[in-house]
Chain A
Amino acid sequence: MVDNQRKVYMIAGGMTPFKKINFKEDFRLNVKHSLDYALKDSGMKTGDIDGSVSAYFSDHLQGQLIAGAMSNDFIGLAGKPSKRIEGGGATGGLAFQTAYEEIASGTMDTCLAYGFENMSHVGTWRGNDIIALGSDASFDYPLGGFYTAYYALMATRHMYEFGTTEKQMAMVSVKNHGNAMHNPYAQAPMNITVEDVMNSPVVSTPIKMLDICLMSDGAACAILASEDVAKSYSGKPVLIRSIGSSSDTMRLADRPFGEVPLLPNENTDMYSNLKYPGVHSFRAGRLAARMAYGKAGITNPEKEIDFAELYDAYTSSEIQAYEDMGFCPYGHGGKFIEDGRSMLDGDLPVNMEGGLQASGHAIGATGIMQAVYAFWQLQGTIHKHLGNSRLQVKNPQRGLIHSHAGTGAYEAVSIMEAV
């Protein structure tokens, strides 16, 4: 690939608090509130934005088609170029990357990526149904398909292959809910123990209620800009160093049993007996990370990434993502949390603000929410935005954000750096 693209910076971000139900504000007002925050923080005006990319996952959840255009005119961007990106749970992450491409290609000098979802229009059981239509409607969904079951099938196999335990999964939940105690944007801050998670109702073996992310109402936005524009604002821009994405089969049953796509710090001997990805790992996540690392010149992610916002739709998927991202070898994800490495004071903190588990998961907003948290972390402005410094990673230089659709049918990984 010829690297003739322009550098891309994130210059502002904002989000609404994530809530279980928010009938007082619709999606348009959620988007506006997140944008107002970003504009105020950066000293920008709506007129400074060249165009936008909107992100929301489901027309069924929203009950309103072309909801991106409706948000766009509500926030004063009618007449400017805009498009909607949809890619399941990776919707926000992919929209962020599309905004990156608008700047990198020279199409725009400033681009707004915003994401939203209002999941409270339907009850939880119906919501599960709608989300499960994001699996094969002929072969998967009619079996009683529902996403927790699909991730549970993966978790069961991960435990079998690598000896990962339910207790290790519970530790992820304790960490993310605990972190959220210091985040006023978070939907479910909780001081809980491993026992609390283990004793919560079983949803789909081995996954329990407190292993599962939230369904949320909320919005988030990120303003991206070229180098020249980034320099003209007084705030502290953050470089989006690289983006990577990949895809895999929609059906879990179609996943092949081949070889591990290696990272520069790995070798074939490490995985001589591992059939990959099967259903224990997310190949698209590994390939997306490898692409992003390649473009950023990262050869040892374990050492060269200072923190990560990973897609913890389930506690098991955070453990799987440690491995897919190369923070530890395949099979060592359980130990990674057990050793405290992804804790706030660990050497590679993950989901410092609570992740999808505790901060919230308003699907279209999620990937952009991750970008906003990473932006504040790299700016060193967590105190300013969250009202306390408890979650601020010490002097971080480089962060990673990661999201996926389905059981990893699309995945998006972006690398951001302090400048």
Chain B
Amino acid sequence: MVEWNYNTEYRHSYAEDSPFFTALGKGKLIGSKCKSCGFKYGTYRKYCMYCGSETDDIELPLQGKIHSFTTCYYSGETFRGDVPYTLVLVEFPGIDSLFMSRLFMRNGEKPEIGMDIVAQFKKFQTFTVNDVYFVPA
């Protein structure tokens, strides 16, 4: 057995999803609304998963509720230094689908389904989905 490294620098473009990532720098969460069926997405997508129609950008509320959560004590290698961390699925009022994000609790608090949470934005943009995260409202 021999060992060899398998590292590759990927050029990952957000392409048609770029408006979402740009908006995070302006403190805005952008979702999508289907032009033909009206379905409102909590996670940005340029085309509707039901009818394939193009969507319009919509501004999402910054406050929502915890739909589900989990605290990770293990992870993939890349995030090994981050454990433990908490992931949430966020439901927004009036929006038909969810958004996945990290949740940061204040000391001693425990996440619960239905808890009100609010979006926070990183000061210095990393241009990843981590530019937004949630805290208890």
Contact = CB atoms under 8 A, between A and B. Distances in A.
> Is A bound to B?
yes
Interface of A: 23, 60, 63, 123, 125-126, 128-132, 137-140, 142-146, 148-149, 152-154, 156-157, 160, 201-207, 249, 251-257, 278-279
4 pairs of A and B residues whose beta carbons are closest in the complex = A129-B76, A152-B70, A144-B79, A128-B76
A144 B73 contact: no
B49 interface: yes
Interface string B60-71: 000000011111
Given A153-B70, A156-B68, A257-B96, A129 B89 contact: no
Interface in B97-123: 97-102, 113
Contacts, number: 126
Contacts of B45: 254
Given A146-B76, A253-B100, A153 B89 contact: yes
In this complex, the member of A63, A144, A202 whose beta carbon has the largest number of chain B beta carbons within 10 angstroms is: A144
Given A123-B77, A144-B79, 10 more contacts: A139-B43, A143-B87, A157-B113, A204-B72, A205-B69, A249-B49, A253-B43, A253-B99, A255-B97, A279-B68
Contacts of B87: 143-145, 149, 153
Nearest to A130: B76
Q: Say which size band chain B's interface belongs to.
A: 35 or more
B5 to A, nearest CB: 11
Contacts of B69: 153, 156, 205
Given A63-B6, A157-B67, A204-B70, A256 B76 contact: no
A204 B82 CA distance: 13
A156 B87 CA distance: 12
B3 to A, nearest CB: 10
B97 A254 contact: yes
B130 interface: yes
Nearest to B4: A63
A140 B72 CA distance: 14
Given A23-B1, A144-B87, A149 B70 contact: yes
In this complex, the member of A130, A154, A256 whose beta carbon has the largest number of chain B beta carbons within 10 angstroms is: A256
A131 B45 CA distance: 23
Nearest to B97: A254
Contacts of A206: 70
B129 A139 contact: yes
Contacts of B99: 253
Given A137-B12, A153-B69, A153-B70, A128 B102 contact: no
